[in-house]
């Protein structure tokens, strides 16, 4: 049986963002894609979202920056990255030869920083889209502060929209009063698609040392622990906006991914699962194909939002 798993993530954008299938990697959990080239055939994926990229290189937060929790992981990496110039110089030239689209995740402490990064990426061969991270819980300035407020979120979205013609995904934080309001505001401001969710602010305490376990005190919780929370938010947002929604949060298996798709997500991102199973994104894709075969589904579009009807 042949399946049509393709998804258009930016139907209103001149360039478009056509994915061969709905399985993407989540920013910060798959490096620049190059790190996984020898683990499995990454060209089979729908898209790769690279590490968060800022205007200048960042060293990130003090160690320790990763703690395991019940059914999840807390991280406080703090957007450690090589900076946009090095991404363009060292990574984009590699991506140019790939058939899998690469989406660059961008972040900043000010609107101007987001705009400059987006402007530099515009027209660079090998880059198919950008994902605007207004949801990082691990940085002092910017990050989730932008995503928590619909006016600020719309401001960043519009400024990035004006700086590039690349398809623009905007990634939302669950740490806001009304995520639907934020989602509608960023769509109004020009987002082609919405990704959700980023990790959820949390902490752990080292009781022998009598201090917070993470060097940054708090971090972002991800993994299976946040899946039901993410799923409910995807369900809500997908019912409120017309643009494609990309679901993320605790996806470790094909059935997790199908839940997000049935909630209304057009595509999904696999994040922390890759730490325990580096092939997780490919396993999720193959599992979706098996499910479709078993259920006699020939087109992915038949099940997008199926649980909403
Ligand atoms: C170690 C680590 C680093 C991350 N770095 C980023 C990042 O740079 N930008 C971003 O938007 N999200 C980042 N995230 C969040 C993930 O992309 C994803 O939204 C979140 O982990 C929830 O998905 P998951 O439960 O499948 O991991 C990071 C997550 C982890 C665990």
- pLDDT for 232 equals 98
pTM (2 decimals)? 0.98
Residue minimizing CA distance to atom 31 of ligand 1? 272
Contacts with 77 (C-beta within 8 Å, 6 or more apart), sequence order: 28, 60, 61, 65, 66, 138
Q: Whose CA is nearest to atom 14 of ligand 1?
A: 28
Once rounded to an integer, what is the mean pLDDT over residues 206-221? 97
Residue 143 banded pLDDT, cuts 50, 70, 90: confident
**Ligand 1 pocket member 103 (CB < 6 A):** no
Task: With a cut of 80, say whether residue 250 has pLDDT above it.
Answer: yes
Indicate if ligand 1 lies below 6 Å from the C-beta of 132.
no
3-class secondary structure, 225? helix
Question: Is residue 77 within 6 Å of ligand 1 at its C-beta?
Answer: yes
| Res 309: pLDDT | 74
pLDDT of residue 4: 96
Catalytic annotation on 50?
no
CA–centroid distance, residue 2 to ligand 1 (Å):
33
Evaluate if residue 1 carries a pLDDT over 70.
no
Does residue 139 carry a pLDDT above 90?
Answer: no
**Please, what sign has the CA dihedral across residues 289, 293, 298, 299?**
negative
- pLDDT at residue 141 tops 90: no
- CB count within 10 Å of CB 61 equals 21
- The residue to mutate among 222, 231, 273, having the most atoms of ligand 1 within 8 angstroms of its beta carbon, is 222
198 Cβ closer than 6 Å to some ligand 1 atom: yes
- Ligand 1 centroid to Cα of residue 227, in Å, is 13
- Nearest C-alpha to atom 23 of ligand 1 is from which residue? 249
Report the nearest-CA residue for atom 4 of ligand 1: 28
Closest alpha carbon to 54 in 83, 91, 87: 83
Beta pairing, strands 200-203 & 218-222 = antiparallel
Q: Binning pLDDT at 50, 70 and 90, where does residue 3 land? A: confident
Given the residues 136, 163, 169, 282, the one annotated as active site: 136
How many A from CA of 298 to the centre of ligand 1? Answer: 31
Higher pLDDT, 2 or 37: 37
Strands 72-75 and 218-222: what pairing?
antiparallel
In angstroms, the CA 256 to CA 180 distance is 22
Q: What is the pLDDT of residues 222-232, one digit of tens each?
A: 999 999 999 99
249 lines ligand 1 (CB under 6 A): yes
Tokens of 309: 């009807």
pLDDT mean over 241-267: 98
Measured in Å, residue 297 CA sits from the centre of ligand 1 at: 31
CA of 28 to the centre of ligand 1 (A): 5
How far does residue 248's CA lie from ligand 1's centre (Å)? Answer: 9
């Amino acid at each position: 049986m042949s399946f049509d798993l393709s998804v258009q993530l930016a139907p209103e954008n001149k360039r478009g963002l056509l994915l061969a299938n709905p399985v993407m990697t989540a920013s910060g959990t798959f490096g620049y894609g190059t790190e996984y080239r020898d683990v499995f055939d990454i060209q089979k994926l729908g898209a790769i979202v690279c590490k968060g990229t800022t205007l200048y290189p960042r060293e990130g937060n003090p160690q320790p920056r990763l703690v395991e929790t019940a059914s999840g992981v807390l991280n406080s990496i703090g957007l450690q990255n090589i900076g946009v110039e090095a991404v363009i110089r060292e990574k984009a030239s590699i991506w140019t030869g790939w058939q899998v689209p690469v989406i660059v995740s961008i972040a900043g402490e000010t609107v101007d920083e987001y705009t400059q990064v987006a402007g530099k990426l515009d027209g660079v061969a090998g880059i198919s889209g950008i994902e605007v991270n207004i949801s990082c819980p691990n940085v002092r300035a910017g990050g989730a502060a932008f995503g928590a407020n619909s006016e600020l979120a719309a401001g960043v979205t519009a400024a990035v929209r004006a700086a590039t013609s690349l398809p623009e995904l905007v990634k939302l934080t669950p740490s806001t009063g009304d995520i639907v309001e934020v989602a509608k505001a960023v769509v109004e401001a020009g987002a082609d698609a919405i990704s959700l969710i980023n990790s959820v602010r949390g902490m752990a305490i080292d009781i022998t040392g009598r201090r917070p376990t993470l060097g940054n005190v708090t971090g972002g919780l991800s993994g299976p622990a946040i899946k039901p929370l993410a799923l409910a938010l995807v369900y809500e947002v997908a019912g409120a906006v017309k643009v494609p929604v990309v679901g993320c949060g605790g996806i470790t298996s094909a059935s997790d991914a199908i839940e997000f798709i049935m909630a209304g997500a057009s595509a999904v991102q696999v994040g922390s699962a890759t730490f325990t199973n580096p092939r997780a994104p490919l396993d999720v894709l193959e599992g979706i194909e098996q499910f479709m075969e078993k259920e006699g589904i020939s087109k992915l579009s038949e099940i997008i939002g199926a649980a909403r009807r």
